[in-house]
Amino acid sequence: MASEGKYRFLVRNLLKGIAWFAILMLAFIYFKDSISFTADSGLMKYGNSPLIVFSIYSVSEIIAGIIPPELFMMWSLELAAYRNYLVDLALLASISYAAGTLAYLFGRYFNGTVLYRYSRKKYLRKYEENFNKYGGFLLIVAAVTPVPYSAICALVGSVKYPFKKFFLITLFRFARFGVYGYLVWKASMV
């Protein structure tokens, strides 16, 4: 019975993620053919500055994924001239994974600080009940759905969840990027 609730929680969040992803893909398909990007347009200028784009992405992932990673996948396909999509996808996944690991370490070693207590009160408290209910399974849900990955990692770190288990479970993050990256690539061909 308890595992049924876990899977229902996963499916519910996956469906939210699929709905959000579908909206993004429809907008992507519509706008990629409707908007002309010239070499001197502002978006192309920033699109061809991977340091800026990856810096923005890194900050976003550290701060609980403010900007959906799929937008950066679209950037790599449409706005970044002469970029290798697979390399960019691997870099995006690695940055996300590293941000989650940093968040875990922040929760683990700084959970007594004012900053952590503020983060907990403002952002993490609503996920504590789910963690108490689902344990490490919440990491899988956060790795593959829109549930804030870094926030869950910080929460899990704060309760001293075993690092080795954390490290292995959160490898699901790479699977998410692989699946979504493939779907973004297919959508770019439509």
With contact defined as beta carbons under 8 Å apart, do 150 and 65 qualify?
Answer: yes
pLDDT digits (tens, 9 = 90+) for 80-105: 666 788 999 999 999 999 999 999 99
Whether pLDDT at 166 is above 70? yes
Task: Give the pLDDT score at 3.
Answer: 66
C-beta neighbour count of 43 within 10 angstroms: 13
pLDDT digits (tens, 9 = 90+) for 35-83: 554 444 454 556 667 888 888 899 989 887 778 888 888 888 776 666 7
Task: Give the pLDDT score at 31.
Answer: 73
With contact defined as beta carbons under 8 Å apart, do 49 and 157 qualify?
Answer: no
Task: Give the pLDDT score at 52.
Answer: 85
pLDDT digits (tens, 9 = 90+) for 1-15: 456 677 787 778 778
Q: Which pair of tokens denotes residue 29? A: 């398909």
Task: Give the pLDDT score at 40.
Answer: 46
d(CA 180, CA 186): 10
Task: Give the pLDDT score at 68.
Answer: 85
Task: Give the pLDDT score at 179.
Answer: 92
Helices (H) and strands (E) in the chain, counts: 11, 0
- In this prediction the pTM is 0.82
| Stronger pLDDT, 81 or 143, i.e. the higher one | 143
> Which of these ranges, 79-83, 112-116, 176-180, has the smallest mean pLDDT?
79-83
CA-nearest of 111, 119, 167, 180 to 139 is: 167
Tell me, rounded to whole angstroms, the distance of Cα 53 from its chain centroid.
15
What mean pLDDT value characterizes the chain? 83
